Chains A and B, each alone.
Chain A
């Protein structure tokens, strides 16, 4: 079911949310790495293999959209799934235009998140083929 060498990142400043998503993904046997902020993630060496990021939109420091922009600029292959507490139509449009796989308002259905992750890794793996 899972792709080889795949990796899912979770970036959310809210510890409780981060942990919950981590649990959900582990229950489906995805390898997961958790980050409390975007800069921490950028400091890590890129994963060599299909990967995606579950990214909170509103964070102190570098926010979700800014991180997405930074990744696009660097030509990184990670696919992005946005999650947000108070989404608006304009930010959603901006995120999707910049290539996000999905945009999920909190609280979201676990099925929705998992299917988004699946699609994201699929898309990412195509780049590694």
Chain B
């Protein structure tokens, strides 16, 4: 009785497997090629096109884009005071929201890691993540309702014998809404950073005579700083690029860079100028990332 050998597909698969086993570098290249191609096409090529578009110009008669190199868009961005004001307001809001989220998230994360029981910690972890499951738009609309003259914020302040304050469609309303929406993105990296601090370090600090405050300043804070920096990358960049929340909660009086870009691209159809304005937040974020890299934020991500 003849014994049949492996079928042709199995033989081919075995040969291919042996071929790749002998050439590890080729296996690595084949493995990395799809994600690298995706990164190149989707992220880098898009950024490249954005950069190139900023140096083209719009034909005033036909509204078509003339692919002729010009500095005009960047000069317009440099010379227009209104764009400077909007950029200043956007960056200021991103900084204030980041600081607010640090102040809110740090004690919460510290409580979760160091004080809460394992069961409570798990519950709080889910509770922090839960708002991420609801729609961003719904949350933005809710803040619009809450910050209204007869909204929840004024109702709560009224119960405390304060107010009412007219915060509808204001920077205060946007500050509250931004701080709320990005808060989980700050809590999680700080939680991870605090969780990585070995308990033995804190015990050693206590054994050497340091009080709780000193241990916090000299041990906990420096070791948690990369987590704070990592969280701030999220809150800062997300605030900097947002245009929906300023529109919904801030109303039509307050423009952010995102709103300007949206208007120039979507309404005025001036894509080159929109691309030139878009380079402002890109530049700010690059500078911010370089600063955060020096603080070790990328190790905490």
Does B associate with A? no
